[in-house]
A and B are shown apart, each in its own frame.
Chain A
């Protein structure tokens, strides 16, 4: 007798045993898997220690964006309204999150580290207009925090030539 029919019957035992094992599904809203430290989520505009915005409205991020979703309108920094430590600041800064592909090129292009991509990924809205984030919304910290994995586990180890020198 060929072994093939017995293999099919052993298959039944396998599926039957699985009923009694705990499922491996991660139930999403109750358990959120920690994201990697360099996860590219929602953008965030940063400020210096003294409260001035880092962004000077140079539009390098808008130029680098492959999806063309950043809108920057710069304006002069006057004496009584100094927003950024430079000659200009971004009067209007909007990102259309429905166009954004979360590639991180804007973060790479910015010479002042003014924009980074943080960990927030829960960005659903009920209308497309609500997905256009303005400067205030981007400056603010995220409303809901998502768990981020421990940096120590994931940072790039030092290359061999640096260790030995």
Chain B
């Protein structure tokens, strides 16, 4: 089932540990970056009291969340209420197992690949994990036994399902050009030919917009808008459980940026610098764009959101796939 390179299983384990820890650290400093950058874009300093440049702010936030009372609504259904944020975090993290962040290194006797697993259906796996992630919001909102939570989670789930279709279709062009569903092969193809952002710019645009909707980021963040829905599906969550939902949202954002980098911008490829560093730089650029969008655009109303997803993004994504298929077949 796997391709070629054999490694002892414990190398994969070590890599997985490293990647998970790095992703969690990246999430923590992504929150720092968001607050500082958002502040700068709004002509103010971000947090600058906790440590130099506010660098200890995520630690302070973590301690606050851990020490906060994780209240448990009396009506809530125990197992589902507790499991929902955990499922959200799990699916967000698990998607990193197939994203390649480096080439192949030879250390002594061992061959260390820059990815944790190379499955022939890597892209499909990520979408499947995203589909499971929808349940985290749906079940979490329903298990809170509260009207705001239920409405918020229904809206979230409807939005996620709608934009997931456009997301999957927008990468069809990349799959046709890369001739494989495996992310490692797609990156290899981009290094051989050209970064797919150039021929697939429409696909990139659709992917990015659908991705913003998938991760509930502004301007598509109506499900978590405080003004409209109290707090949507995480109304009845506090303390570390809320922290887990927040973690899942940011890690989804990081995963989506990683996916965009891998599919459209050549993954870890680039001159001079080592692969993972290029990957981090490109990832940082995408996260900057996410934060930039948050600072600039107002929120889309829910019906505008749904209309946009089904009536604009879906036809554009389908047309992109069609045109790509025709051109690849002809050329």
Using a CB–CB distance below 8 Å, which chain A residues touch chain B? 8, 11-12, 14-16, 18-19, 21, 23-25, 27
Contact = CB atoms under 8 A, between A and B. Distances in A.
A14 B44 CA distance: 15
Interface stretch (B66-74, B101-109, B290-298): B290-298
B40 A23 contact: yes
A15 B45 contact: no
Contacts of B296: 8, 11-12, 14-15
Interface string B281-314: 0000000000010011100000000000000000
Given A16-B292, A19-B37, A11 B43 contact: no
B39 interface: yes
A11 B44 contact: no
A23 B296 CA distance: 17
B21 interface: no
B63 interface: no
Contacts of A27: 45
A15 B39 CA distance: 11
Nearest to A11: B296
Given A15-B292, A16-B292, 7 more contacts: A8-B297, A15-B41, A18-B41, A19-B41, A23-B40, A23-B43, A24-B44
Interface residues of B, number: 12
Contact of B44 (A8, A12, A15, A25): A25
Contacts, number: 32
A18 B292 contact: no
B193 interface: no
Contacts of B42: 18
A18 B45 CA distance: 12
Contacts of B295: 15
A24 B43 contact: yes
B178 to A, nearest CB: 30
Contacts of A14: 296
B39 A23 contact: yes
Contacts of B37: 19
25 contacts: A8-B296, A11-B297, A12-B292, A12-B296, A14-B296, A15-B41, A15-B292, A15-B295, A15-B296, A16-B292, A18-B40, A18-B43, A19-B37, A19-B40, A19-B41, A21-B43, A23-B39, A23-B40, A23-B43, A23-B44, A23-B45, A24-B44, A25-B43, A25-B45, A27-B45
A163 B292 CA distance: 57
A25 B48 CA distance: 12
Contacts of A24: 43-44
Select the residue from A11, A14, A23 with max chain B CB neighbours within 10 A. Answer: A23
A15 B41 CA distance: 5
A8 B295 CA distance: 12
Contacts of A16: 41, 292
Contacts of B40: 18-19, 23
Nearest to B38: A15
A34 to B, nearest CB: 21
A14 B43 CA distance: 11
Contacts of B45: 23, 25, 27
Q: Which 6 A-B pairs have the closest CB atoms?
A: A15-B41, A15-B296, A25-B44, A15-B295, A19-B40, A11-B296
A27 B48 CA distance: 10
A58 B53 CA distance: 55
A157 to B, nearest CB: 34
A18 B296 CA distance: 11
A8 B43 CA distance: 19
A33 to B, nearest CB: 16
Nearest to B291: A15
A85 B210 CA distance: 81
A53 B13 CA distance: 80
Contacts of A21: 43
Nearest to A17: B41
B288 to A, nearest CB: 10
A14 B297 CA distance: 11
Contacts of A19: 37, 40-41
A11 B293 CA distance: 10
Interface string B25-63: 000000000000101111111000000000000000000
